[in-house]
Each structure stands twice: as C-alpha cells, then as structure tokens.
Amino acid sequence: MRFPRFALAVAALGLIAPQIAAAHTQLVASSPAANATAAAPTKIELRFNEAVIGATARATIAMTGMPGMASHAPMAITSFTSQMGKDRKSMTLLLRRPLTAGTYQVSWTAAGTDTHRMSGNFSFNVR
C-alpha cells in the first residue's frame, strides 16, 4: 500500500511544482498608487512581488492628460533617474522636478529569476 500513496504524492507534487515555477514578476504596489491623486510627486516608487534582475528593469513616464486640454497626445517625461532598492524588489524613479497637474501613465518591464520579461502600466493623477 505504500507505493500507491507515494505515487499519489509524486503526482500531486507534479501538479503543484509547475505553478510555483511559473510565477512571474508582478507589480504589487506603487506610490503614487494606481488611479490615485497625488500632490506634485518628486518620486515614483514601484514594488514587485519578487527580486528582479536590475539589467531588465525599465520604466517610462508619460503625461496622458493635461487640465483644460480635451485632446492631449501622450508626452514622454524624460527628466528622471531610476534606482533599484537593495532588496531588488523595488525601483524608485527620481524626478528632477515635481510633476505638474495632469494624468500620468507609468509603464514598466522587468524579469525575475525565471528571466521572463513581464510588463505592465498604471495611471495616476496630479492635482
């Protein structure tokens, strides 16, 4: 009777292991938070579910809405630097000047230890 139990345990592990190995980098938090309204931020913080490979971590910022303009084409914000946290689970975008009133979108890409590049984006408002 021990062999069937052992076989059942091995089969169950075979079903669970791929799900564990298939975990990919995800953004779990940001500041400002997605869909939040902030007052002239000078930095944007991204927090991931796992340590990311620094060379794969990238972010862009675009102003997608400006008060008083009904049709505003996205405008890239390039005056920032980025740095990875010591735990490699966070990335901070340090803005040279505070963001002005409007709607912004942050897009990111990063890979964890599985080396699969993942990406996403979120928006927030500045009053």
CATH number at 59 reads 2.60.40.1220
* Enclosing domain of residue 118: 24-126
* Domain contains 9: no
- At 69, is the secondary structure helix, strand, or coil? coil
Output the pLDDT for position 121. 98
Query: Within a domain: residue 8?
Result: no
The stretch 8-34 carries a mean pLDDT of: 70
C-alpha separations of 2 from 15, 29, 46, 48 in Å: 20, 46, 49, 43
The percentage of the chain sitting over the pLDDT mark of 70, rounded to a whole number, equals: 83
Of the listed ranges 1-5, 13-17, 26-30, the one predicted with least confidence: 13-17
For residue 38, being part of any structural domain is answered with: yes
Tell me if 93 is assigned to some domain.
Answer: yes
- The burial of 70, by beta-carbon neighbours within 10 Å (0-12 exposed, 13-18 middle, 19 or more buried), is given as exposed
In a domain, residue 114? The reply is: yes
- Confirm whether 59 is domain-assigned: yes
Mean local confidence (pLDDT), 46-53? 98
Q: Mean pLDDT of all residues in the chain?
A: 89
pLDDT at 20: 47
Give pLDDT tens digits for 85-125: 999 999 999 999 999 999 999 999 999 999 999 999 999 99
Give me the pLDDT at residue 98, please: 98
Are 30 and 115 in contact by the 8 Å Cβ rule? The answer is no
Calpha distance 68→92 (Å, rounded): 30
Asked whether residue 3 is domain-assigned, the answer is no
**Domains: count for the chain:** 1
